[in-house]
Amino acid sequence: MITATHSPDEHIAALRPKLVAFARLQLRDNAAAEDTVQDTLITALEKHDTFGGRSAFETWVFGILKNKILERLRQQGRFVAWQSDEQSDDDALENLFQDNGRWQATKRPVPWGDPDQVLENTAFWKVLDACLVALPENTARVFTMRELMELSTPEICNVLDISESNCWVILHRARLKLRDCIEKGWLT
Amino acid sequence: MLMCREATRLMSLKQDRVLTLREKTALRFHLSMCGACRACARQFDLLHAIGEHHPAALKPSSTQDD
């Protein structure tokens, strides 16, 4: 528990691992994640005094981090090697459904139980992280922008310079692959 | 008629924009008949909730101090 007697440095040091984990998921590059967090912490330290409550401070630091990540994604711009990583992805999706549009017998989703319990289960988060890493890069990027950074699809389109319908297609694919991967990795 | 593949497209779309009345009706009808798709729909809802619950994202919860 962090109290008011801790210095801003300690306060921020405690937050750092969480920030790095978050940035790494989004940027998929350790060095870039460390850089971005470093940058975020400098900004946070400069303005630390304006924050009294701990949770307000943390939320605010995450806000800074999200902006820095976005800035970096903008600079990286466009999708890299979109074609190659999309092709194998499409093939994998075909395996989920039969030609008539029904689920393949072995791919039919099964219930995961109470959502609140799932979200509190550390095993679930581990599998989710592994499954995110296993996604093709562009697919994972759009998904994490949408569901972890909580950007709207118009915002994502703007940053990545893709159409909104393209964005929806990618998200559909990401969700199908993730749920399949999670079910395999977690319940079996 | 709406099949599972297309139903999952609508379930996904529902996380990102408001469905049209026609889309909603078609999806609801399919879900009423398909247990696998009902499970899938709940899983998409869960995946949509991870931003609020990710251990790294630490949205303030019960320990809110403001």
> Going by C-beta distance under 8 Å and a sequence separation of 6 or more, which residues neighbour residue A125?
B54, B55
Say which residue the tokens 């909104």 belong to.
A164
Q: Do A54 and B54 touch (CB under 8 A)?
A: no
> Which strand (E) or helix (H) includes residue A26?
helix A8-27
- A113 & A183 share domain: yes
Instruction: Indicate the angle between helix axes B4-13 and B35-48, nearest 10 degrees.
Output: 20
Coil, helix or strand for A57? helix
Residue A97 DSSP class: B
- pLDDT at residue A21, as a whole number: 85
Provide the residue ranges of all domains of chain B, joining segments of one domain with +: 4-51
Banded pLDDT at A133 (limits 50, 70, 90): confident
Rounded to the nearest integer, the mean pLDDT of chain B is 85
Report the number of distinct structural domains present in chain A. Answer: 2
Banded pLDDT at A80 (limits 50, 70, 90): low
pLDDT digits (tens, 9 = 90+) for A88-113: 566 667 789 999 999 999 999 999 99
Q: Do B50 and A128 touch (CB under 8 A)?
A: yes
- pLDDT at residue B58, as a whole number: 47
- pLDDT at residue A92, as a whole number: 67
Q: Which of A35, A55, A76 is the last residue of a domain?
A: A76
- A93 & A182 share domain: yes
How far apart are the C-alpha atoms of A40 and A66, rounded to whole Å? 9
- Answer yes or no: is A117 within a domain: yes
- pLDDT at residue A174, as a whole number: 95
Q: Do A171 and B4 touch (CB under 8 A)?
A: no
Expressed as residue numbers, the domain containing A102 is 82-187
Residue A3 has pLDDT above 70, yes or no: no
- Answer yes or no: is A1 within a domain: no
For residue A124, give how far its alpha carbon lies from the nearest alpha carbon of chain B (Å). Answer: 11
How far apart are the C-alpha atoms of B42 and B3, rounded to whole Å? 17
pLDDT digits (tens, 9 = 90+) for A22-49: 888 888 888 999 999 999 998 888 877 7
